[in-house]
Amino acid sequence: MTILVTGGAGYVGAHAVLALLDAGEQVVVLDDLSTGSRAAVPDGVPLVVGDVGDAALVSRTIADHRVDEIMHFAARIVVPESVADPLGYYEANTMKTRALLAASVAAGVRRLVFSSTAAVYGEPAGSTLTEDAPLVPINPYGRSKLMSEWMIADAARAHALGYVVLRYFNVAGADPKGRAGQSTPNATHLVKVACQAALGARPEVAIYGDDNPTRDGTCLRDYIQVSDLAEAHLSALRHLREGGDGAVFNCGYGRGASVHEVIEAVKRVSGVDFPVRRAERRAGDPASLVADTTRIRRVLGWSPRFADLHTIVAQALAWERSVSPDADGRTYARARIAASVNA
């Protein structure tokens, strides 16, 4: 079996590729490299450069590499950007997922693991979110992903397609072996931004709103380490291979950290007291998103290895140090060379 990983040159996709290779799986990556990096794809893994919405290309890739399982990561993911460019997000996240589904069904692909988001819940009323919580997204990003979830479930009912939807909470950290990390240009992830500020790559960190109904007024998020998340994808695939039903699972740790707490953790781990400024709230940002992870632990037997904020921050800092800019900007390649030497 060959597994097609769409968006496999991006942050989470690259870590999933590493986890699949570590498990002895055969992988092909499809990525347009708009935010991913060619260097993130390990040596020996076929890379098809192109658009996941190109049904003809997807069909050829499935046929050429004898694909019968797909992990679908390719998407646009920045909430404020989705508010400013909703049609772009519906095209990238919803229409292109529809094209991928059509090509997959026509080719007889048997299993699909889909990268979704906690943004489908919107502004929750409770302290933690189960998978059965109301789905009322408050931004186009969340709505574009929820529509994709609906399409996948409907296609699975009509065709012989097994599926798992994984709703990510906030992803952070890096591969513990230093083989991959967050390298998306202009990334907005708080842990990465704070680590860059600690290393002098950014002048400051902005706190977008400190008057939220949370314990310190800043947004509360459930941070999940990226390799733990990659392992959740493998657990989902095993579930489907063993005949498990189509299902939706939250991916988090079941506890939240505030923006203030993340910034303080980065300061403690780095030993640097970098500047922080207050800014206005961003459009579409809920005050709190924390997962109830009972279902994924019970059904998939998933158990995280890196559920500690300081560990996540230390990994992210190590990655940022390894990819600090050089004269020609080829930072990711330098980091991978260093990782291979030190492995």
Active site residue 208: no
Mean pLDDT for the stretch of residues 92-98 = 98
What DSSP string describes 79-115? HHHHHH-HHHHIIIIIIHHHHHHHHHHHHT--EEEEE
What residue numbers bound the domain in which 104 lies?
Answer: 2-342
pLDDT at 221: 94
Mean pLDDT for the stretch of residues 200-218 = 93
Mean pLDDT for the stretch of residues 9-25 = 97
Q: Are strands 162-168 and 247-251 parallel, antiparallel or unpaired?
A: parallel
When the pLDDT of each residue in the chain is averaged and rounded to a whole number, the result is 92
Could you tell me the CATH number of the domain that includes residue 93?
3.40.50.720
| Contact (CB, 8 A) for 266 and 102 | no
Over residues 227-236, the pLDDT tens digits come to 999 999 999 9
Over residues 44-63, the pLDDT tens digits come to 999 999 999 999 999 999 99
3 state DSSP class of 135: coil
pLDDT at 324: 72
pLDDT above 70: residue 340: no
* Catalytic residue (one of 11, 89, 141, 332): 141
Least confident of 123-132, 253-262, 299-308: 123-132
pLDDT above 50: residue 208: yes
> Position of tokens 């860059």?
196
Q: What is the DSSP letter of 291?
A: B
Number of domains in the chain: 1
Mean pLDDT for the stretch of residues 251-257 = 96
Mean pLDDT for the stretch of residues 174-201 = 92
Over residues 60-83, the pLDDT tens digits come to 999 999 999 999 999 999 998 999
In 10 A of CB 208, how many CB atoms? 17
pLDDT at 187: 81
Alpha helices in the chain (DSSP H): 11-22, 55-65, 79-84, 86-89, 96-107, 140-158, 190-198, 226-241, 259-270, 294-300, 309-322, 331-342
